[in-house]
Homo-oligomer: A and B are copies of this chain.
Amino acid sequence: MSGKTVLVTGGAGYIGSHTVVELIENGYEVVVVDNLSNSSYDSLSRIEILTKHHVPFYHVDLCDRAGLEPVFQQHKIDSVIHFAGLKAVGESTQIPLEYYHNNILGTLVLLELMKKYDVEKFVFSSSATVYGDATRFPDMIPIPEECPLGPTNPYGNTKLTIEFILNDLFKSQTDLWKFAILRYFNPIGAHPSGLIGEDPLGIPNNLLPYMAQVASGRREKLNVFGNDYDSRDGTPIRDYIHVVDLAKGHIAALKYLDSFETTKKTGICREWNLGSGKGSTVMEVYRAFCKACGEDIPYEVTGRRAGDVLNLTAKPDRAKKELHWQTELNVDIACTDLQKWNTENPFGYQLRGVEAKFATPEHEYDARFITIGAGTKFSATIANMGATLVDVKVDGQSVVIGYDDEAGYRDPEACYLGATVGRYANRIAHGKFHLNNQDYQLTINNGVNANHSSVSTFHTKRFLGPIVKNPKQGLYTAEYILMDKETDGELPGDFEVHVTYTLDVEAKTLDMNYEGYVQGKATPVNMTNHSYFNLNKVNNPSIEGTQIAVVSDDYMDVDSDTIPTGKVAKREIATFASGKTTTLGKTEPEYDYNFFVDAAKPLKETDTRASELALVTRAYHPESKIGLEVYSTEPSYQIYTGDWLTAGFAPREGFAVEPGRYVNAINQEQYKDCVTLNPGQTYGARIQYKFSSKD
């Protein structure tokens, strides 16, 4: 693992995002800048989950020198891979000035800052378009790098100009600069994970994404631009290359430049074709795609497109010999991967009913609040920080309490509002536990005890992701993960946890799925969601008048230090069996107790998700007529009437129902197993909030 930092411009885009994945998988740190003019930040938030790695992102246009310079100041950039640029051949013939301005100025500003900050390695995303119609020369198909250049459209001219710039800059300091110019042939396909792929805003300009949109019904039919070319079936021949192969070509180029830095002590500026060496006609690709999607999609042959030429097949020998790189995937695989991407993300990253906003004044991209179900009758807003449930709205009415921004949640007095509590929720007596022959002492933060993991709490940590999906109408998922490293002297082992929210608009259910693993050492785990509900918030900031009932009035008895005695006792609260409800008053009753679902059946397993969801608490407010049912697979649930709420909220502005494992279980022999996660084991739990309303 090199650990060197690579700045990727246009890293949110199609080729950029796939290259970011390969870079991370090859041990590089990545910083992405992108103006998002033709891409979506969601590609990067998905990559965070895919790679379990944070990707610092800057929403900057390269032409904005003042905006770009801080990236060089805040990161020790080792090298740059430069994808950012306008890239549609057809469009470039319509608005050439924009193409020249954006592509050339952006590159110049980037190079100027590289010079200023002593960054010397640069991989440039050029294009086979720089060759123009290579068939005008004898013996130039497949096209070698020596083929005379002559783009036939403004897009190609911008790429050629940038090649000129790089060559001239190299010549001005040949001992310094290390430039790899990669001339791409036709990238197609998508990541095999189905998580990232090509997602052109507006009408796609390339063959495959257009076919994909036809297959998914977004477009009526494929336009084949000319079948009167001098090819085997009359359609133009291109060298299609799987985007993952292409992405890997960048790693090969980067390593090649590294070798000049470390061993040859000299600069370089050189071009490499990145192609398969095998040409396919449009119709051949069409048939491969139809095979992959299992149906013949409609197409129509229309006139030739301005700027297109007959044949652009690469001679990829130089890259094979010098970069030790060649394509490994073919058009069939590319079509299969594309179809997976397309099927699982029929609208790419552009999901209706999903909104995002920044949670810091600095507009950090990993400080976001995402709303799923936005604009519908049931929505949830989730923060990256703490994978926190910031808000839930039933028929437009907020039914939980939360803050407007991260600053609220960072208040040291804040009461874990909506937080994903972990890795160990609830109290550990005296902050002590013993695991695998080792004693641990957590920082005391709650009377004589450690609560909610104390200083290791998740609620102020930013989770990676999310992956937001909308697999069918009215159904949304948002997956976050946290790679929680062992903290010195506190919780042992490196813990990885996935928190997936699933929102069903029709059912008005919000599910939370927790799945965790530990590496290195065993760790105590107990996860829950700490939302404070006020079903009548629209009418009254207090929870007074809320009617509740629970599955069982057995609770874990505690001493005066709120340390469990190990005994099961009864607490006065209405149970489902009683057919009654307990009405929460202005100040009473006060609850902060850990109730059993079934005290007679202590849980032993770490993953409860095989169990049925069980209703543990029901709540209703007669004024708002909004009801709540809390289900879970967990053996206990804390009921807390919010009597110590502070930091912007008054006592009893919300009540919490926190399904989870038994309080202080790690220190109680009969309960210890279910909160002890060993390497190789899976931690799992499910919680569901189900709302009802008068409507």
Q: A residues bordering B, Cβ < 8 Å?
A: 92-97, 100-101, 104-105, 108, 111-112, 115, 153-154, 157, 160-161, 164-165, 168-169, 171-172
CA distance A161 to B151 in the complex (A): 12
Whether the pair B172, A93 counts as a contact (CB closer than 8 A) is yes
The reply to whether A169 and B112 form a contact with Cβ atoms under 8 Å apart is: no
Q: Which 6 A-B pairs have the closest CB atoms?
A: A96-B168, A154-B168, A157-B164, A161-B161, A101-B108, A96-B169
**CB contact between A93 and one of B105, B112, B157, B168 (< 8 Å): that residue:** B168
Residues A97 and B165 in contact in the complex (CB < 8 Å), given A104-B104, A105-B105: yes
Please determine whether B165 and A164 come into contact, CB atoms closer than 8 angstroms. Answer: no
15 contacts between A and B (CB under 8 A): A93-B171, A93-B172, A96-B172, A97-B108, A97-B115, A100-B104, A100-B108, A100-B161, A100-B168, A101-B108, A105-B105, A154-B168, A157-B164, A157-B168, A161-B164
A644 to B165, CA, bound (A): 68
Q: Which residue of B lies closest to A306 (CB)?
A: B171
Number of copies: 2
List the B residue with the shortest CB-CB distance to A157: B164
Residues on the B chain within 8 Å of A171, using CB: 93, 96
Q: Which residue of the partner chain, among B105, B154, B157, B161, contacts A101 with CB atoms under 8 Å?
A: B105
Q: Which of chain B's residues have a CB closer than 8 A to the CB of A94? A: 172
Q: How far is the CB of A32 from chain B (nearest CB, A)?
A: 24
In the docked arrangement, what's the CA distance between A157 and B163, Å? 11
Measured in the bound complex, the distance between the Cα atoms of B96 and A112 in whole Å is: 11
- Complex contacts, A100 vs chain B, CB 8 Å: 104, 108, 161, 165, 168
| Bound CA span A455–B171, Å | 65
Given the complex, which residues of B lie within 8 Å of A111, measured CB to CB? 97
Dominant secondary structure at the A interface: helix
A204 CB to closest chain B CB (Å) equals 21
What residues on B are CB-neighbors of A154 within 8 Å? 164, 168, 172
For A170, the closest partner residue in chain B by CB is: B96
The answer on a CB contact under 8 Å between A97 and B169 is: yes
Q: Let me know if B112 and A165 touch, CB within 8 A.
A: no
Chain B residue numbers with a CB within 8 Å of A101 are: 105, 108, 112
Residues of B near A169 (CB, < 8 A) are: 96-97
Is the beta-carbon distance between A95 and B157 smaller than 8 angstroms?
Answer: no
Further 7 A-B residue pairs, CB within 8 A, beyond A100-B165, A101-B108? A97-B115, A100-B104, A100-B161, A101-B105, A104-B108, A153-B168, A157-B168
| A206 shortest CB reach to chain B, Å | 21
CA distance A559 to B172 in the complex (A): 82
Q: Smallest CB–CB gap between A157 and chain B, Å?
A: 5
Q: Which residues of B contact A104 (CB under 8 A)?
A: 100, 104-105, 108, 161
Question: Within the complex, what minimum Cβ distance (angstroms) separates A156 from chain B?
Answer: 10
Q: Which residues of B contact A164 (CB under 8 A)?
A: 154, 157, 160-161
A112 proximity list for chain B (CB < 8 A): 97, 101
Which residue of chain B is the closest to A169 with respect to CB atoms? B96
| A96 to B164 alpha-carbon distance, docked (Å) | 10
Inter-chain CA distance A96–B112, complex, in Å, is 11
**A670, chain B: closest CB distance, angstroms:** 72
Q: Which of A115, A157, A165 neighbours the largest number of chain B CB atoms within 10 Å of its CB? A: A165
A96 interface neighbour in B96, B105, B165, Cβ under 8 Å: B165
Give chain B residues whose Cβ lies under 8 Å from the Cβ of A96: 165, 168-169, 171-172
Q: Name the residue of chain B whose CB is nearest to the CB of A101.
A: B108
A153 and B112 alpha carbons, distance in the complex (Å): 19
Residues of B within 8 A of A161 (CB): 100, 104, 157, 161, 164
Q: How far is the CA of A160 from the CA of B161 in the complex (A)?
A: 9
Closest to A162 in B: B100
Q: Which residues of B lie under 8 Å from residue A160 when comparing CB positions?
A: 164
> In whole Å, how far is A8's beta carbon from the nearest beta carbon of chain B?
21
The answer for the CA separation of A111 and B99 in the assembled complex, in Å, is: 13
**A62 CB to nearest B CB, Å:** 13
Give the residue among A93, A97, A104, A105 with the most B Cβ atoms within 10 A.
A97
| CA–CA, A104 and B96, complex, Å | 13
